[in-house]
Amino acid sequence: MTDGDSQPGPQRAAPGSEPLLRVERMSKHFKIGNTISRKALHAVDDATFSVGERQIVAVAGESGSGKSTLARVLAKIYEPTSGEIYFQGKPVSKIRSRRARLAYSRQVPMVFQDPFSSINPVFRVSHGVMRALKLHRPELSREQRYAEAVRVFETVGLNPGSEVLQRYPHELSGGQRQRVGFAQALAMRPKLILADEPVSMLDVSIRIGLLNVMVKLRDTEGVSIIYITHDLASARYVSDRLIVMYAGNIVETGPVEEVLGNPRHPYTELLLAAAPDPRAPLNASAEADRGEPPKVIDPAPGCRFRWRCPLAVDECQRVTPQLRELLPHHQAACHVATADTLTKAFV
Amino acid sequence: MAHALADDQHGVTIPRQQGPLLQIQDLCVEYVLESGIVEAVDKVSFDLNPGEFLAIVGESGCGKSTLVFGIAQLLNPPAEVAGGSVTFLGRNLVTLTDKDLAAVRWKDMSVVMQSAMNALNPVKSVGAQFKDAMRAHGVTSQKEIAQRSAEVLKMVGIDPVHLASYPHQLSGGMRQRSMIAMAMLFTPELIIMDEPTSALDVVAQRSLMAQIKDLQRELGFAVIFVTHDMSLVSHYSNRLMVMYAGQVSEVGPTRKLFDSPHHPYTAGLTDAFPSIRGPKLPLTGIPGNPPDLARLPAGCRFAPRCPKVMPRCTTEPPPQYQVEDTLVRCFLYDSDGGER
């Protein structure tokens, strides 16, 4: 299989060390309308980023920003329209055989948003995890599979594992069900878990327990996680790096503390200002924003945030801003943003 | 009991009319199941003043939605009001007939449900649904209906052209807003909102909260706002009521409950969400799950999860104690400090 080294990208890791996952100018467009329509909805456009080993990368943005589509392309539920994804240096588009596909799904499993519909209600929760083990780790004997199921359940905090395995989904709380989702993923000895809003349907009081599970998986099991969320506070709590998306584009990326402490893109500022924080005074300017991300159908060039942006200039109407490295490892796609002056559009 | 009604966040003082708008006295709601009777709401009492914003918070299954459904008389079997009274504008809603209740609904009190996708009729346009509600209350003039429908939609920041739109053509935020617009058709005295923002993301959530607060200031209605996310209401509600396992565990001015929570459960809730600014601290949340209402612990219902549990808590249910302007259900505030 050929490797992807022939295509150096703008965001290459240090020479000689290929990151776990590297996404190069990946786009996903959906054809919309009737059969003769040529219109395309640009769900993700030109996404370039990478995920290292033992790293939690948060992807944040509003509904409709393309973050779930991004995760689904990475899970190979959708094929990208253009661009390439390299997993451990190998292009994912070259995966053809069933065996290679299974191996990829094993290493890059997904955890879904809704813990109430993502587990089969007519089977005990052991069913899903035992089947996954049988399918993806055929070398294990029946006893070994059971022991492994107990181990992964206890790793995600479902104690005692042997007892919880015998329960039906309806006997578990939402938080426990979501832990089952992570246990199923973990059973396959994954390299990278795609977690699509795993806590947004849970009560605030139990979210933190699940966030702690994610941190534990990174620190003790060595798993990388792409954590998709609209909650910047939880992204800050668990993740190492942050990617902010708006209307299909990555608008800002960098180390999470750096991006949130020193946001360069006005949209990141808006998200920050909108996060409810009882410890901070109310932010009046974020309330003035009543906009929503546009549906990106056959877009003309230009910044997609310009309609909501208080700082928009002429250039924003004409030229699509590209990600620029404004500070070390910290990039933003904005014509107005600079390295040293804060834009302060919403903060 | 007097409540400070000064809205310190916005410097607006809400006009005080004669007496409370809504008085809840020892309200009990039971689920009558084959396996026995489950008390989902246990003797809840509180007053709501005109123009007040009361937030009810708690985890899933603590009875907060059941409580507001009990107030609005929207319970369906097996749930039923088992005792107590709901006095709204001088009348006890519990004893009213369905016909009399129908006259109160929409006109004096309206309810905004959690999921607008399910609460709006998918096969009728938004305008047709507004029309239904107005016709049910005797408004027959087409002109008046069209005018008022456009007016309320404008109030929530939606272009009146969307009166012709069907629910699926609107975004989640717009759907919730049109539900709120519908609730305001007759400018009621009280709007009950059951987690109206929980299906929205942060930016839409924030702008909806700001909009509700603006409208409330402008029109003067009272709000009962149910949510599991305490941080969401921190800047908007006058008073905060924390529920646990069907009981009120603490109620008081919102700021007070955030700054100096008395009940260990309230303290646990305020520590459960990570901060976006300031130092990054490891958090633990509240260990365990709320109790099964069919098998409640003998003493304090929070005792099995409480970090400050005392021997007395496991045998004796705590009463409510008045601590300054908050009511707390915890033995820590007994005159002898809980030691006995």
Residue B170 · residue B87 · CB < 8 Å: no
Is the per-residue pLDDT at B153 higher than 60?
Answer: yes
Q: Which residue in this structure is represented by tokens 């899933």? A: B60
State residue B215's pLDDT score.
Answer: 87
Contact A233/B at CB under 8 A: yes
Is the per-residue pLDDT at A59 higher than 70?
Answer: yes
**Full-model pTM:** 0.82
Q: Which residues of B touch A289 (CB under 8 A)?
A: 203, 207
pLDDT in tens, B269-315: 888 878 887 778 888 878 877 888 888 888 999 999 899 999 999 99
Arithmetic mean of pLDDT over chain B:
85
pLDDT in tens, A229-281: 988 889 999 999 999 999 999 999 999 999 999 899 999 988 888 887 777 66
**In the structure, what pLDDT confidence band is assigned to residue B29 with cuts at 50, 70 and 90?**
very high
Contact A277/B at CB under 8 A: yes
Arithmetic mean of pLDDT over chain A:
86
pLDDT in tens, B8-26: 444 344 444 568 899 999 9
> Sign of the C-alpha dihedral, residues B264, B269, B326, B225?
negative
Q: Is the CB of A63 less than 8 angstroms away from the CB of B278? A: no
Report angle CA B215, B6, B19 to the nearest 5 degrees.
85
**In the structure, what pLDDT confidence band is assigned to residue B337 with cuts at 50, 70 and 90?**
low
Residue B230 · residue B259 · CB < 8 Å: no
Contact A218/B at CB under 8 A: no
Which of A173, A277, A290 has the CB atom closest to B277's CB atom?
A277
pLDDT in tens, B77-95: 888 999 999 999 888 999 9
* Mean pLDDT, rounded, for A84-88: 94
Q: Which residues of B touch A233 (CB under 8 A)?
A: 273-276
State residue B71's pLDDT score.
Answer: 92
ipTM value: 0.74
State residue A57's pLDDT score.
Answer: 96
Contact A260/B at CB under 8 A: yes
Contact A63/B at CB under 8 A: yes
Is the per-residue pLDDT at A286 higher than 80?
Answer: no
Contact B259/A at CB under 8 A: no
Mutate which: B273, B302, B306, vs A, most A CBs within 10 A: B273
Instruction: Kindly state the percentage of chain B with pLDDT values over 90.
Output: 39
State residue B240's pLDDT score.
Answer: 94
> Which pair of structure tokens corresponds to residue B204?
């839409």
* Mean pLDDT, rounded, for B169-182: 84
